[in-house]
Amino acid sequence: MSTIQPQTMAPTRDAVLDDLRGMLAMVLDQYGADVVELSEITEDTLFHDDLGLESIDLVAVGALLAERYGEHVNLAAHLAELDLDEVIGMRIGLLVDFVVARTGH
């Protein structure tokens, strides 16, 4: 598993998606399979239904996001504002929205 380098510049949407692909691949990898093709993950990919991830996996994603972008990208605080249904039905695009919003100027 590679480490994720901290970033200081405000990332573009595509760059965030690309980062997320890498993070999701790492989270998915713990389930013993590394055959999800990263290009398959788009903004429309569903966290649960498509990737088979559970809300508890968001913990890992949240930690990776904070590591990459800094503690101010606080997924936990963001999720606290959502209903559980929204968390479960999480679309990757919404994660991108969140990161862009927190890292933008």
Sequence-ordered list of residues with C-beta below 8 angstroms from that of 59, at least 6 positions apart, any chain? none
- In the three-class reduction of DSSP (H, G, I as helix; E, B as strand; rest coil), residue 6 is classed as coil
Q: Does 56 bind other proteins (CB under 8 A)?
A: yes
How far is it, in rounded angstroms, from Cα 2 to Cα 42?
A: 22
Whichever of 22 and 70 has its CB closer to other proteins, that residue is 70
Does the footprint of other proteins cover residue 35 (CB under 8 A)?
yes
Query: Is 92 a binder of other proteins (CB under 8 A)?
Result: no
For residue 1, state whether it binds other proteins (rule: CB under 8 A). no
How many of the chain's residues bind other proteins (CB under 8 A)?
30
Contact between 64 and 28 under an 8 Å Cβ cutoff? The reply is no
Q: Give the range of 7-15, 18-26, 32-40, 91-99 binding other proteins by CB under 8 A.
A: 32-40
